[in-house]
Chains A and B, each alone.
Chain A
Amino acid sequence: MRCDEFISRYDLENAVCLDERLVLVKAENTTEVSEKLLSLSPRYSTCVGIDYRPINRSYLVHHVLALDKYGLYLVLEARAHDPDPVVESITNLFPAANWHEREVMDMLGIKFIGHPEPYRLILPDDWPEKVYPLRKDYPYDRKPVELAEILERPTPRNYTVSIRRGSSVSEAEIPLGPYHPALHEPEYYELVIEGERIVEARYRGFFVHRGMEKLAESRLTVNQVAFLAERICGICGYTHATAYCQAVEEAADIEVPARAEYIRGILLEIERLHSHLLWFGVAFHLLGFDTGFMATWRLREKIMDLAELLTGNRKTYGLNLVGGVRRDIDESKAHAVLEALDFIEEKFKKLVRLVMGMHEIIARTKNIGILTREDAKKLGAVGPHARASGLDIDVRRDCPYAAYKYVDVSVPVMDGCDVLSRILVRFEEIIESVRLIRVFLREMPKGGLMAEYDDIPGLRIGIGVTEAPRGEDIHYVVTGRENKIYRWRPRAPSYMNLATVPHMLVGEKLANAPIIIASIDPCFSCTDHVVVIDRSSRKKIPLEKALRET
């Protein structure tokens, strides 16, 4: 559905079309408008805080809601003003907004009235109060406090790191992370167990926040940010670069040549193959099946060879620029890709048959780590994780971009809601990726690789959305003047999926914890947060409260 049709059909007040698929709704009362929008069953996607004071003396908060069945994104805008910027929280209506709003509180100092957990999320414990790094008057290279001052402070109370034999006969606390062989990036879980059963799960992250947004907004030009975006993730960096470029292209009305769109599509699918095969390797290793781990990573090597052939790099392709791509794919390369795909598909299908016959793998993943469809929807799960819980969402089909605009994408959906379903969804996605690459190579039109465009106009909003291997990846851009970006907010899919992990852990056996955590294919270099689940009510409780009670 087109944007203007949507506005007229639903009679939205204060709504304007920013482009064909982006609706901006300016809200005086965000709660009231959000309640009205609930009837459209939107999916909470991201929230962006913008220090707009240099432009019109206000702060903007943009909640981005995905309307999957209409193929649209809706931006709900709220304003706040100095000296005490406040807006209404919509976390009670959209639980997935919880972390986003807290991040805006941390980084811009905009308070959300009615937020159930108005606590620090990203900034470290020793970060000073009332210092907000994403405000425009905060220099990118400023140190908030001197080292000597930090050392003089009392150490903030942290989680206990030793086993506790509590009053309960068999209760114990198991620290998992920040560095552990079962984890591949820094994250911290604290699991309270009774026997082998997990009765409480705590998670803390944000150990690797790198301040990329500030760097992009302060130092880099529009095209340089594409390369920074690719470095958000070491696995799915290309999808970030593509989402960023699409956001700028949308904001600046740049039409990318079709051939460049196909090349992007091919590389996005190659990246998906790489990511999924990597994940299978990790999952098999966690399940003790190292032969499977070796086999999948051998196939992954072939995929990386393909990436090198097409881009010159095994990872971090460096292929995208705003307006197109930097390298073409000629006949000989296309032929080599098709040959390699035949080999990979055959070997992968053999491996699938082998794994599906392994009763210990099936028994260890079936009915393990359950996330119901309702919880997945409520918590904003995306990607294969959401599809394994019965949510039929995929940006490639619902809001097509790049080469997906020209082909049909088959989206596997399972309703097992368990780890096995997540495995099966990824199995099918690999087969579909191979098919898509073949179609893209066959149907790729001739033509240029780069769009011609003048300067990027300032203060335009653009949203770039891609279906990363882990789910919806959304980049929100407000263009700036002099070839700069005014505001850039990338939101990786793991940001949404990680919130679901403690819910999946409680009630499970300890031995299953690593595979449950891994089943969402988490990426911590993009994402980090804190969630505590209370054992009796099985509801989230604030971290500070949990720490006080520890």
Chain B
Amino acid sequence: MTLQTTLYMCVAGLINALALLVYAPLLDGIGRKIKARIQRRKGPSVMQTIYDLRKLYGIRAIVDGLAGNYARYAPALSMALAVMAALMIPSFLPSSTYCDLIIAAYLLIAVTVAQTYASLSMSIPYSVIGGCREASIMMASELCFAGAIASIAAAYGTLYVWRASPIIRLESLKPSMIIAAGVLSIVAYVESMNLPFEISEAEPELAGGTMIGYGGRSLALVMHSAMIRKALFISFVLDLLFPWRALGAGLPGIALRIIVFTVLLTGAYVVMSMLNAVYGRYTPGQALRTLKRVGIASIAAVILASIGY
């Protein structure tokens, strides 16, 4: 790796992280607006999430007084992990041609783990319930995620995102990769806390998740890092599905990538918001049963990829 490449990767990673810090809350606002319009409500402004975060960042950090020490540092930790993932995973700019599938998956999961463990260390029963539910869903969906990644690695003999992308290639269509693409999309949807899988923060169902124990700046950090993680999860799936290299190299290629990526990312949020509006919520049992089926599909993808399909 040359110095120039290293410098480019650092700058591109930094730009990606900064862009996601702003764009992820905006996407959340767009999602809220679309859901509201489907429900025939006016809904809040698309900027509302940014306004909320700005206000929360201006308030001192509030943490459940009886929570364990870990809970006090978890918001900062989860934000640090989210930013680290944003530096690493290609989003608006192809920041790293060396981004490893396992490292990307690890960083994405680490944000959830940090927040889940925080909710388990709270003294609030609803938070503990939410944490337990989140842990169950996370473990089930991560298994599916791992299966999809394993099948990609088996199919293309590489762990680099850039080399494996796009996983569905028309010239050599592999059934395992079609399954893997489906599994990845479902996992991204589940991990983005969309209905019917939005279980851990379901207050009407006696769960409070991580956020119930926080207020002010701590809550802002937790919310913000969750939004970045959601955008990154979708970016990661887009990285693997879209034929980015077809857009060409150089400045025109980069400019085109930024436009296409922004459109695709926003489009994914629009689709997810629409699905969000037409689903009810699963119970943890139902969600796990659904993920079990997805898990079986991901195992099938691994088997098929290992034998050359």
Binds B, one of A290-298, A318-326, A450-458, A533-541: A290-298
Cβ of B39 and Cβ of A291 under 8 Å apart? yes
Partner of A291, one of B38, B125, B202, B283: B38
Cβ of A512 and Cβ of B283 under 8 Å apart? yes
Please report which residues of chain B, range 200-218, place their CB below 8 angstroms from some CB of chain A when the two chains form the complex.
202-207
Cβ of B280 and Cβ of A298 under 8 Å apart? no
Residues of the A chain whose Cβ atoms lie less than 8 Å from the Cβ of B282? 360, 364
A291, B129: Cα distance in complex, Å: 26
Residues of the B chain whose Cβ atoms lie less than 8 Å from the Cβ of A81? none
Judge whether B196 is part of the interface by a CB distance below 8 angstroms: yes
Judge whether B285 is part of the interface by a CB distance below 8 angstroms: yes
Cβ of A509 and Cβ of B38 under 8 Å apart? no
Judge whether B19 is part of the interface by a CB distance below 8 angstroms: no
Taking A290-B39, A360-B196 as contacts, is the C-beta distance between A176 and B206 under 8 angstroms? yes
Cβ of B203 and Cβ of A360 under 8 Å apart? no
Partner of B39, one of A294, A361, A511: A294
Residues of the A chain whose Cβ atoms lie less than 8 Å from the Cβ of B51? none
Cβ of A174 and Cβ of B285 under 8 Å apart? no
Partner of A287, one of B39, B126, B198, B280: B280
Taking A196-B284, A360-B280, A510-B206 as contacts, is the C-beta distance between A288 and B129 under 8 angstroms? no
A163, B204: Cα distance in complex, Å: 18
A285, B124: Cα distance in complex, Å: 23
Closest B residue, CB atoms, query A290:
B39
Chain A, interface size category, equals 20 to 34
Judge whether A169 is part of the interface by a CB distance below 8 angstroms: no
Q: What does DSSP make chain B's interface, helix, strand, loop or mixed?
A: loop
Judge whether A523 is part of the interface by a CB distance below 8 angstroms: no
A358, B279: Cα distance in complex, Å: 8
Cβ of A289 and Cβ of B40 under 8 Å apart? no
Judge whether B123 is part of the interface by a CB distance below 8 angstroms: yes
Cβ of A288 and Cβ of B280 under 8 Å apart? yes
Please report which residues of chain B, range 273-301, place their CB below 8 angstroms from some CB of chain A when the two chains form the complex.
277-286
A456, B206: Cα distance in complex, Å: 52
Cβ of A163 and Cβ of B202 under 8 Å apart? no
Residues of the A chain whose Cβ atoms lie less than 8 Å from the Cβ of B278? 291
Judge whether A514 is part of the interface by a CB distance below 8 angstroms: yes
Residues of the B chain whose Cβ atoms lie less than 8 Å from the Cβ of A292? 280
Cβ of B203 and Cβ of A196 under 8 Å apart? no
Please report which residues of chain B, range 19-73, place their CB below 8 angstroms from some CB of chain A when the two chains form the complex.
38-41
Give the most central of A196, A288, A289, A509: most B CB within 10 Å.
Answer: A288
Cβ of B285 and Cβ of A509 under 8 Å apart? yes
Cβ of A294 and Cβ of B203 under 8 Å apart? no
A510, B204: Cα distance in complex, Å: 11
Q: Which 3 A-B pairs have the closest CB atoms?
A: A288-B281, A163-B125, A289-B280
Q: Residues of B at under 8 Å CB distance from A?
A: 38-41, 123-126, 128-129, 195-196, 198-199, 202-207, 277-286
Q: Residues of A at under 8 Å CB distance from B?
A: 162-163, 172-176, 180-182, 196, 284-292, 294-295, 298, 358, 360-361, 363-364, 509-514
A selection of 30 A-B contacts at a CB cut-off of 8 Å is A172-B128, A174-B126, A174-B129, A180-B206, A181-B204, A285-B204, A286-B204, A287-B280, A288-B195, A288-B205, A288-B279, A288-B281, A291-B38, A295-B39, A295-B40, A298-B40, A360-B196, A360-B281, A360-B286, A361-B280, A363-B286, A364-B283, A509-B284, A510-B205, A511-B199, A511-B202, A511-B205, A511-B207, A513-B205, A513-B206
9 further contact pairs, Cβ within 8 A, besides A163-B125, A511-B206: A286-B204, A360-B282, A360-B286, A364-B280, A364-B286, A509-B283, A510-B205, A513-B205, A513-B206
